[in-house]
């Protein structure tokens, strides 16, 4: 069976992507890339983030090597041309009036700060009416939030599927999260919308392994929902009584087969968050390292064999639907609505 096809790893038009943590963007501009598109990020006179394509229209120098002026413009390091957040050239040293010629303008992408991240809109032009995906529970004092960012090798489709794939956790992460020795049959219901797909698992016991024992020491049956939201977000949610665990992750394409992961883990548990973070952090980082290694090996093998090839079963609950949404979004089409009849699987 073929892979997700064209568009599974490319930049999708009309979507917000996180490109850096807000704390990374200070008074000096920084360089980032979005699906191979070089960007220069800086803060304007109000302190709001701005994003210009990282090429001065004058002599092609990287704008990220420049500096932010007191008026909030970005000055090119080569000849000092100044650009505002919309890309308009506001000053050319030596000219009384730089004029508004389009050829003198830099290409600007809408940018905004939200939930501790700097988000860039994939389509250049004015600020859109849409807003980025909101990270949950950040303002709720009963939740503890832990953030993590790292680089990954692999395609967007592969990384998203990995984050939402239940069967691999008992093998790749055996002992840390689930185990192949304790299997339970659960019912899975899949619902797909125009921009997202989610799987709800019914009758699932608290996961075996160290993470499950910390978050649910008394065991029990959990409410478990996994979801993908265009263009690049995954969310894994567990509920057990008053305990909650929500892992929201954005996989921002940086280049060909390279991604930047931005994760926010919010949880509420029987024990205080300050006590659990030192116990859970090594487990979570261990899981991430294992996933990063297998994704890198998978990407290398895809290159070695000249492309992807998939063989799906009923256990591959969300991967085919993620590919469907990515392909349709690449064509500018909403996903087709679908509700899959319940199936049963072992976890």
Q: Phi first, then psi: what are they for 179, rounded to 5°? A: -155, 145
Above 90 in pLDDT, residue 100?
no
CB 77 within 8 A of CB 66: yes
**Mean of pLDDT over the chain:** 89
- Residues 103-132: pLDDT tens digits? 899 999 999 999 999 999 999 999 999 999
How many domains are contained in the chain?
Answer: 2
Element (H, E) at 274: helix 273-304
* Strand ranges inside 122-242, DSSP E: 144-153, 185-192, 196-205, 221-229, 233-240
Decide which of 109, 135, 160 is a domain's last residue.
109
Residue 288 is part of a domain; what is its CATH number? 3.90.380.10
pLDDT band at 332 (very low <50, low <70, confident <90, very high): very high
Q: What are phi and psi of 45, to 5 degrees?
A: -65, -25
* 8 Å CB contact between 13 and 34: no
CA gap 178, 206 in Å, rounded: 9
Measured at the alpha carbon of residue 123, what is the angle toward residues 153 and 233, in degrees to the nearest 5?
A: 45
Cis ω for the linkage preceding 178 (within 30 of 0): no
pLDDT digits (tens, 9 = 90+) for 201-236: 988 776 655 555 655 666 667 889 999 999 999 999
The token pair that represents 246 in the structure block: 């929500």
CA distance linking residue 287 with residue 248, whole number of Å: 15
Distance CA 38, CA 33 (A): 4
Same domain assignment for residues 85 and 161: no
Contact (CB, 8 A) for 259 and 152:
yes
Residue 6 pLDDT level (bands cut at 50, 70, 90): very low
Residue 51 phi/psi, 5-degree rounding, is: -135, 120
* Together in a domain, 247 and 204: yes
Report which listed range, 165-174, 179-188, 220-229, is most confident. 220-229
pTM of the model: 0.91
In a domain, 3, yes or no: no
Within a domain: residue 53?
A: yes
pLDDT per residue as tens digits for the range 40-66 = 999 999 999 999 999 999 999 999 999
- In the chain, the percentage of residues whose pLDDT exceeds 70 is 89
Give domain status of residue 327, yes or no. yes
The CATH number for 43's domain is 2.102.10.10
Query: Do 80 and 211 belong to one domain?
Result: no
Question: First and final CA of the chain: distance in angstroms?
Answer: 25
Tens of pLDDT, residues 287-315: 899 999 999 999 999 999 999 888 998 88
> Rounded to 5, what percent of the chain is helix, strand, coil?
20, 35, 45
Same domain, 219 and 332: yes
Residues 335 and 221 in one domain: yes
Please say whether the beta carbons of 74 and 87 come within 8 A.
no
- Strands 49-53 and 37-43 come out as antiparallel
Q: Which domain holds residue 99?
A: 26-109
Closest C-alpha among 91, 87, 129 to residue 109? 87
Q: What's the confidence (pLDDT) of residue 176?
A: 59
CB-based contact 262:146 (threshold 8 Å): no
Top-confidence range, 48-62, 96-110, 171-185, 310-324: 48-62
Q: Is residue 127 part of a domain?
A: no
Q: What is the average per-residue pLDDT within 22-39?
A: 96
- Return the pLDDT at 86: 96
Q: Is residue 226 part of a domain?
A: yes
Clarify whether residues 90 and 220 are in a common domain: no
Question: What is the pLDDT at residue 279?
Answer: 83
* 227 plus 159 within the same structural domain: yes
Kindly state whether residues 170 and 298 are assigned to the same domain.
yes
Out of 47, 82, 109, a domain closes at 109
Verify that 102 and 154 share a domain, yes or no.
Answer: no
Instruction: Provide CB contacts within 8 A for 313, sequence distance 6+.
Output: none
């Amino acid at each position: 069976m073929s892979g997700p096809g064209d568009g599974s790893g490319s930049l999708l038009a009309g979507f917000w992507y996180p490109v850096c943590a807000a704390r990374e963007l200070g008074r000096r501009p920084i360089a980032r890339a979005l699906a191979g598109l070089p960007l220069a990020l800086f803060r304007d006179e109000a302190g709001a983030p701005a994003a210009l394509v990282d090429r001065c229209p004058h002599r092609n120098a990287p704008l990220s090597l420049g500096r932010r002026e007191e008026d909030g413009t970005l000055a090119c390091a080569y000849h000092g041309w100044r650009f505002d957040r919309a890309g308009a050239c506001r000053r050319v040293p030596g000219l009384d009036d730089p004029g508004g010629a389009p050829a003198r303008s830099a290409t600007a992408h809408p940018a905004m700060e939200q939930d501790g991240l700097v988000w860039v809109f994939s389509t250049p032009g004015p600020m859109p009416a849409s807003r980025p995906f909101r990270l949950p529970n950040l303002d709720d004092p009963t939740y503890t939030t832990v953030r993590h960012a790292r680089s990954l090798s692999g395609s967007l489709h592969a990384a998203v599927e990995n984050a939402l794939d239940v069967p691999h956790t008992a093998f790749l992460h055996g002992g840390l999260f689930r185990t192949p020795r304790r299997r339970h049959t659960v019912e899975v219901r899949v619902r797909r919308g125009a921009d997202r797909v989610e799987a709800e698992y019914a009758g699932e016991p608290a996961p075996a392994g160290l993470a499950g024992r910390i978050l649910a020491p008394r065991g029990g049956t959990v409410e478990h929902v996994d979801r993908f939201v265009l263009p690049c977000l995954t969310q894994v949610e567990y509920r057990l009584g008053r305990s909650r665990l929500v892992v929201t992750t954005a996989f921002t394409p940086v280049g060909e087969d390279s991604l930047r992961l931005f994760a926010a883990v919010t949880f509420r548990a029987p024990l205080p968050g300050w006590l659990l973070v030192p116990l859970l952090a090594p487990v979570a980082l261990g899981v991430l390292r294992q996933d990063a290694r297998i994704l890198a090996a998978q990407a290398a093998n895809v290159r070695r064999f000249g492309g992807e090839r998939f063989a799906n079963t009923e256990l591959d609950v969300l991967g085919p639907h993620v590919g469907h949404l990515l392909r349709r979004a690449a064509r500018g089409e909403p996903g087709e609505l679908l509700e899959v009849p319940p199936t049963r699987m072992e976890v």
